[in-house]
């Protein structure tokens, strides 16, 4: 699985809402191919109006003005601590959404985007990058937990790289895993199953 280079089609829905799955599916567009790899170590520093070290405003596209500042600060810290590049999932819905769901991605809830889906890459032994193994996925969870994300979803089977959903929801916190390759659920509300 490590060398699959098909475009990511990952998209998740954080809270099951009973929305029509056909409508949900219709909202999923093929990923764009212009997603940027955000190298937390080597990326050029940002423009002066953005205090983030590891992300540029343009990484968030049209959603940038709606991004929750706490979310941005936390993912920047996450990038500080992660061992490899981080790629914002190129799938529609990986940053903001406008829908009827209770998802933290949904800007219509509070006017803010409070969730983001990230593909977490690991430097390969000799060249390039590879997917996280179970230990690395567990490490990602612990980093996210320590930083204080209140919603953490683990997606060990996302393609082409596996990754996480991170959000800053109001308490109570929610944590889950999903073994889906392409979509969100079904969800298992115990993240440890992802690295078991
Ligand atoms: Zn998500």
| Residue 43 confidence (pLDDT) | 38
Q: Is residue 76 part of a domain?
A: yes
Give distance in angstroms: CA of 126 to centre of ligand 1.
Answer: 31
Q: How confident is the model at residue 184 (pLDDT cuts 50, 70, 90)?
A: confident
φ, ψ at 193 (rounded to 5°)? -65, -20
Q: Is residue 93 part of a domain?
A: yes
Q: Is residue 7 part of a domain?
A: no
Give distance in angstroms: CA of 111 to centre of ligand 1.
Answer: 17
Number of domains in the chain: 1
C-alpha to C-alpha distances, 101 to 16, 77, 94, 112, nearest whole angstrom: 8, 28, 14, 14
Q: At what angle do helices 69-81 and 134-147 cross, to 10 degrees?
A: 140
Give distance in angstroms: CA of 73 to centre of ligand 1.
Answer: 17
CB of 167 closer than 8 Å to CB of 149: yes
The boundaries of the domain holding residue 86 are 24-145
Q: How confident is the model at residue 185 (pLDDT cuts 50, 70, 90)?
A: confident
Percentages (nearest 5) of helix, strand, coil residues in the chain: 25, 20, 55
Q: Is residue 172 part of a domain?
A: no
C-alpha to C-alpha distances, 178 to 9, 39, 84, 139, nearest whole angstrom: 14, 26, 22, 17
Give tens-digit pLDDT for 76-97.
999 999 999 999 999 889 999 9
Q: How confident is the model at residue 51 (pLDDT cuts 50, 70, 90)?
A: confident
φ, ψ at 31 (rounded to 5°)? -65, 150
Q: Is residue 191 part of a domain?
A: no
pTM summary value: 0.76
| Ligand 1 ion: Cβ-proximal residues, 5 Å cutoff | 12, 115, 117, 165
Name residues whose C-beta falls within 8 Å of residue 43's C-beta, 6 or more positions apart in sequence: 54
Beta-strand runs (E) in the chain: 37-38, 86-88, 115-120, 122-123, 129-130, 151-155, 163-167, 174-178, 187-188
Give tens-digit pLDDT for 100-126.
999 999 999 999 999 999 999 999 999
Give tens-digit pLDDT for 19-40.
334 334 444 333 333 334 444 3
Helix H, strand E, coil C: the string for 137-169 is HHHHHHHHHHHCCCEEEEECCCCCCCEEEEECC
Q: Is residue 11 part of a domain?
A: no
| Residue 182 confidence (pLDDT) | 77
Q: Is residue 166 part of a domain?
A: no
Q: Is residue 152 part of a domain?
A: no
Give distance in angstroms: CA of 48 to centre of ligand 1.
Answer: 29
DSSP-derived letter for residue 67 is: B
């Amino acid at each position: 699985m490590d060398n699959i280079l098909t475009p990511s089609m990952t998209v998740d829905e954080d809270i099951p809402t009973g929305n029509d799955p056909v409508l949900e599916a219709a909202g999923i567009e093929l990923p764009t191919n212009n997603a940027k790899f955000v190298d937390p170590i080597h990326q050029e520093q940002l423009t002066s109006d953005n205090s983030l070290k590891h992300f540029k405003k343009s990484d968030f596209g049209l959603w940038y003005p709606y991004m929750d500042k706490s979310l941005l600060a936390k993912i920047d810290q996450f990038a500080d601590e992660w061992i490899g590049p981080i790629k914002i999932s190129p799938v529609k819905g990986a940053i903001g959404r406008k829908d009827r769901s209770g998802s933290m991605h949904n800007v219509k809830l509070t006017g803010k985007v409070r969730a983001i889906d990230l593909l977490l890459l690991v430097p390969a032994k000799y060249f390039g990058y590879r997917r996280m193994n179970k230990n690395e996925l567990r490490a990602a969870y612990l980093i996210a937990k320590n930083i204080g994300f209140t919603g953490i979803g683990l997606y060990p089977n996302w393609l082409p790289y596996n990754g996480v959903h991170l959000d800053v929801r109001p308490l109570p916190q929610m944590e889950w895993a999903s073994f889906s390759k392409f979509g969100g659920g079904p969800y298992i509300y115990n993240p440890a199953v992802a690295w078991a």
